Structure 1
């Protein structure tokens, strides 16, 4: 302090000062800051802050970052001289914060010594590596038929209320003990949904490795716009430190809507469905930051699970097609399957993982090689059999195996399975050990078999040893 006082020198200092020309709906119009830059923080005389979001010829538009009623027309505005940052680090684990890093859980603010800009360039190609390690979600269908690798961007898409958020939440719960840090970004959700998600994480002791970033439905549109970038910055810090992270964006439909709201308030030219022309760039610059780094740059990874909502299963809508083209695959949830009781309601035929298979464990990859094709063939045969035609014995046998597989693929919420459990049911089904089991008994038999699965069985254990143990377990059940 003394040294800074001694180093102080008197002199003329020039600074720009603007004034508020208009205010409303979380947007401030400002005159008199000609050197302002995009994404720069500006300060109002009442202590409020804003983020420069649009540059005009005479005025600039800024997003209000605080809901202060003291901001009025004519108030002075000045530069702060820095960009918007959020505190990062391990002290955020277990906390619920807003997009600016302020606590929402009633606890004291976390002690943060490191900060990271919300907006950052995606890692260049030279820093990236190939996706080579699996990220297990605990879901039978996903881990075996639509595998996800660390550093992958896997879209979860479907109509409202059919289990998209539950699937992503199960993936977070399954990271317990796997040294994967998680960030859940809740965008535009009502407070009851936010409280329910946090309570599930707390009961499962998942908050120990999770940060929850919340921008509620009643928040300013600027907060909903900044939320996914804040969650990405938190996870990016850990990725740069060589750690594995998982980010859930729930959901990017509301994020796109908030960006459209901001753009219309800022009088930007509207395009298709009133979205601005750069809506594609909005999500691409966010999701391109998810990757796996090479060992020379730390070797960390950031896996993204963006969630997007469709209406009546329409995949060709504007925002869904944008996200499908950006991501490395999609998990499509079908409302008809949900209504029929097939949970999780994943449409295997329209779901795909473009790069996750390269990260899948060889044992699981070999055991599940024909499962997807068998199930799709069964769906076609079942549709044909509805016409009441007489079926051959071979076709009836395939239908029976298909009905059994459908019951096996069903899974209750908040009950993720280990990778050993996945290999166990794959081998039991593929080797015909469950042929005598009726479809309505599949869940009970499978639950009993997996509950008694010995810990000595590993994925790398010989197949003969696996089959020997499974036959013995099933002999006691059947």
Structure 2
């Protein structure tokens, strides 16, 4: 019989006990003591962590936001009617996560990546924390590659680079969402994955946006994350972070992504509502003190990574709504100070028919100019100056003062440029077509064209250059800048077309005059006959 040594028994028992400890469920269980307005307070979770995910008996999930002395404040992802006092709640030891990956492209999901489009389950193999620390300066590189929006007014004067954070700001119904949607539609052949986050919008609005994306073939590279007005406030709060996590998947895998937050004003309101119910102290405009951190930690995650990190980028276009054009309100000033520039849409311009209603005076891009192609930079410098002078002269001319010829010429040029920069919804343009159109305007070829004929003249001129000046266009695409030879070639083509256009215009005018003359003659003959008939009757 083999001898049994006591130290061997001790080792075996110790190993078994260690294994038993690992298998034990270490989650804590607490009790709900109060529930309502999307918030539950629970007692007994003494080792709970901030931002930890918890599970209720009813199957709903929640997120711990408040750590009080004797209880924890939990925001509930679902209807709080399903939870009652005395229900059990247990910790999970996990931070809130969402599904990420290419499986989400073409889908409409809620912030927890649950499908809303009725197209079945999303079988994404990867998940990511919705809250993540933004990459540090060491891991970033300067913004160098343009993200073309396809909108003339933006790409020329307020350019956006990949990895930039550009705020779209303006009153309600001034075309903010339309601008962001056009930018997404324009990424079709640019290999940029897009995420559109709808916060606090009506379901019908989100449905019509998805329809627009499908109509223009944008859904195949876009994910729509929707937390609508009818959804619980906590879902609206986590929506932008979940969307950002989906975008970061592409950025961290060396791809380019674009995310639109529509809009952060409603996001701030959702957070304020939650904070007040959680009894956090209110500050300015009743927002809690950490409202700035709420948006800064979100927008700092947009970045252009360096080559060692894969060289991917995440570009953010947050949208903020102003009231009566007040850009000095709390949330607008917060987000302006976080972002790398803003596109300000003015309601006065919008209602006067200037669309997109970009106010060039207040709008600015602090880094996008570094990502502009040289040809656009050469054209856009003069354009911005001409428009700024026009706005000043326009306000001066309203007083009815007598104007000298130079001032009149500036007003004429500005009026034509404003007309040139008008662009319809969902018709984004390639950057080279934009450059050709702006070249025509900046060089004064529109000064003697009627304002109502500008659009027709410009589009016909561009088509003429494409057909007769293919070599010039190829040279522009190859060099991406203007030289003397290329400028001369383009000017010759424009002048050639303008001569033909003027001749055609004169001919049409002559025909119109003849028609009017003939009509007048017929009317005169008829009048004579009537007079003669009256005389005979008398």
| TM-score above 0.5, yes or no | yes
The aligned counterpart of 2:233 is 221
The DSSP-based 3-state class of the residue aligned with 1:151 is coil
Counterpart pick for 2:28 among 2, 9, 16: 16
Matched, 1:176 2:188: yes
Any idea what the Cα deviations from partners look like across 1:400-459, whole Å, max 9, x if unmatched? 111111111111111111101111012112222223312121111123234455285244
Matched, 1:146 2:158: yes
Moved more, 104-113 or 456-465: 456-465
Alignment of 1:282-431 (within 5 A): 282-431=294-443
Q: 1:90 to 1:468 in 2, by over 3 A?
A: farther
The TM-score normalised by the length of structure 2 is 0.85
Matched, 1:40 2:52: yes
Any idea what the Cα deviations from partners look like across 1:39-67, whole Å, max 9, x if unmatched? 11111122221111111111101111232
Structure 1 alignment gaps of length 5 or more: 1-5
RMSD: 1.8
Q: 1:8 to 1:90 in 2, by over 3 A?
A: farther
Q: 1:328 to 1:450 in 2, by over 3 A?
A: same
The DSSP-based 3-state class of the residue aligned with 2:466 is coil
Any idea what the Cα deviations from partners look like across 1:285-319, whole Å, max 9, x if unmatched? 00000010001101011111100010100111000
CA-CA distance at 1:117 after TM superposition = 0.5
Instruction: Indicate conservation of the 8 Å contact 2:27/2:93, yes or no.
Output: no
Extract structure 1 runs of 4+ deviating beyond 3 A. 6-15, 450-453, 461-478
CA-CA distance at 1:328 after TM superposition = 0.5
The aligned counterpart of 1:3 is none
Question: How many Å separate the matches in 2 of 1:390 and 1:361?
Answer: 41
Q: How many residues align?
A: 473
Q: 1:136 to 1:56 in 2, by over 3 A?
A: same
- When Rg is computed on C-alpha atoms for both structures, the one with the higher figure is 2
Q: 1:16 to 1:387 in 2, by over 3 A?
A: closer
Question: How many Å separate the matches in 2 of 1:471 and 1:111?
Answer: 59
Structure 2 alignment gaps of length 5 or more: 1-15, 481-485, 503-538
The aligned counterpart of 1:61 is 73
CA-CA distance at 1:464 after TM superposition = 3.7
CA-CA distance at 1:17 after TM superposition = 1.2
Any idea what the Cα deviations from partners look like across 1:187-239, whole Å, max 9, x if unmatched? 00011111111110010010011100000001101000001001100001100
Alignment of 1:254-273 (within 5 A): 254-273=266-285
Counterpart pick for 1:188 among 188, 200, 203: 200
The TM-score normalised by the length of structure 1 is 0.95
Question: How many Å separate the matches in 2 of 1:453 and 1:85?
Answer: 53
Q: 1:201 to 1:115 in 2, by over 3 A?
A: same
More helix by percentage: 2
Question: How many Å separate the matches in 2 of 1:204 and 1:476?
Answer: 36
The aligned counterpart of 1:463 is 487
Instruction: Indicate conservation of the 8 Å contact 2:197/2:240, yes or no.
Output: yes
CA-CA distance at 1:477 after TM superposition = 3.6
